[in-house]
């Protein structure tokens, strides 16, 4: 993996820089033993002091991802050498559950981006359309995983519900777990995992109310379960609502974070008029 040292890390050792970027201990140990770290075209140890603008190349000895290319293109909303933000269409899985599956976003993405390694940082339900963050290197994946766990990646969603009343800003903090009585469903239960959903605001349209939501945690079906729990199932949600002719009206609207390498703010959002 190749990168240019940001001014934030000027006069810091490479080891301390990687620690600051939350590179896991196992990877740090492997880099400490490596003789293939290159700084400004010279092989250097992990303890070398960096200057802003230095070019660093870390050894790439990782295995490629196992997704088979689908030979179908996907839409790229943002891309650099380290990560990408993709548009996941409605009705397409984020990744395959079986090795033979190829009609998933990750199969389309590994073909479109033409990279040996690609992994999703988070997931979207099959019927949810919207932005999805992927990592193009295992070190970047681990950094982004840490940022997600520390709630440093802001994810907002748009949900449309069947009411003509404004929904006041509120936080739904109710644990969620698999429903043992109904296959493929989740429910609110004291025995579940922590799940926190923030309703930021709402706007009433002619036939529905549109809610803007920020996820603090990312449990399976979390938004759908929480909205059903407060009596506002998402329009088109046949699993947690009622039978309908409309598609699921839940959209991964935007994602925002500080880039783990460049330290620049990244914001990718959908055009509201297209959802």
Walk along the chain (275 residues) and give the pLDDT tens digit of each residue.
999 998 889 999 999 999 988 888 888 888 888 889 999 999 999 999 999 999 999 987 778 899 999 989 999 999 999 999 999 999 999 999 887 889 999 999 999 999 999 999 999 999 999 999 999 999 999 999 999 999 999 999 999 999 999 999 999 999 999 999 998 899 999 999 999 999 999 999 998 999 999 999 999 999 999 999 999 999 999 999 876 768 999 999 999 999 999 999 999 999 988 88
Q: Does one domain contain both 218 and 165?
A: yes
- Give the alpha-carbon dihedral of 161, 162, 166, 171, to 10 degrees: -40
Predicted confidence at residue 245, as pLDDT, reads 66
pLDDT at position 275 = 83
Is residue 19 classed as helix, strand or coil in its secondary structure? helix
Is 259 a member of any domain?
Answer: no
Tell me the pTM.
Answer: 0.89
Rounded to an integer, what is the distance from CA 44 to the centroid of its chain?
34
Q: How many angstroms separate the CA atoms of 215 and 196, rounded?
A: 7
| Torsion sign, CA atoms 215, 217, 220, 221 | negative
Q: Quick one: 172 and 204 in the same domain?
A: yes
Answer yes or no: do 178 and 205 share one domain. Answer: yes
- The answer to whether 139 and 22 are in contact (CB under 8 A) is no
Segments forming the whole domain that contains residue 184: 155-252
Give the list of residues 6+ apart from residue 18 with CB closer than 8 angstroms, or none: 28, 31, 46
The residue among 101, 107, 114 whose CA lies nearest residue 88 is 107
User: Total structural domains in the chain?
Assistant: 3
Q: Which of 125, 237, 247, 271 is catalytic?
A: 125
Gap between the Cα atoms of 106 and 94, Å rounded: 6
Judgement on whether residues 143 and 188 belong to the same structural domain of the protein: no
CATH number, domain of 16, equals: 3.10.290.10
- Number of Cβ atoms within 10 Å of the Cβ of 171: 13
Which uninterrupted H or E stretch holds 77? strand 75-79
pLDDT of residue 266: 98
Q: What is the largest CA-CA distance in the chain?
A: 65
Examine the fold and report which residue of 150, 179, 204 is the final residue of a domain before the chain moves on. 150
Q: 125 an active-site residue?
A: yes
- CA 272 and chain centroid, separation: 20
Angle at CA of residue 214, ends 6 and 129, nearest 5°: 90
Q: Is residue 273 part of a domain?
A: no
Q: Is residue 18 part of a domain?
A: yes
Residue 258 maps to a domain: no
Residue whose entry in the numeric block shows the structure tokens 């929480």: 226
Statement to judge: residues 171 and 230 lie in one domain: yes
Q: In terms of domains, do 81 and 35 share one?
A: no
């Amino acid at each position: 993996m190749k990168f240019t040292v940001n001014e934030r890390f000027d006069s810091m050792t490479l080891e301390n820089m990687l620690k600051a970027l939350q590179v896991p201990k196992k990877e740090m140990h492997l880099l400490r033993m490596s003789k293939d770290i290159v700084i400004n075209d010279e092989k250097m140890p992990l303890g070398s002091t960096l200057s802003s603008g230095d070019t660093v190349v870390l050894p790439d000895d990782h295995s490629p991802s196992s997704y088979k290319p689908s030979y179908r293109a996907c839409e790229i909303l943002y891309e650099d050498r380290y990560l990408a933000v993709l548009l996941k269409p409605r009705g397409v899985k984020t990744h395959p559950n079986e090795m033979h599956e190829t009609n998933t976003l990750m199969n389309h993405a590994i073909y479109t981006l033409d990279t040996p390694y690609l992994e999703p940082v988070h997931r979207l339900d099959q019927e949810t359309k919207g932005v999805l963050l992927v990592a193009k290197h295992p070190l970047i994946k681990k950094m982004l995983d840490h940022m997600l766990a520390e709630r440093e990646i802001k994810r907002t969603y748009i949900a449309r519900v069947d009411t003509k009343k404004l929904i006041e800003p509120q936080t739904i903090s109710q644990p969620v777990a698999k429903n043992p009585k109904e296959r493929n469903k989740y429910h609110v239960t004291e025995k579940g995992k922590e799940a926190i959903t923030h309703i930021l605001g709402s706007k009433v349209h002619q036939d529905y109310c549109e809610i803007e939501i920020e996820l603090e945690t990312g449990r399976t079906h979390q938004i759908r379960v929480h909205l059903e729990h407060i009596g506002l199932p998402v329009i088109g949600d046949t699993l947690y609502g009622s039978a309908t002719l409309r598609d699921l009206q839940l959209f991964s609207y935007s994602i925002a974070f500080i880039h783990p390498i460049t330290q620049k703010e990244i914001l990718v959002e959908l055009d509201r008029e297209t959802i």
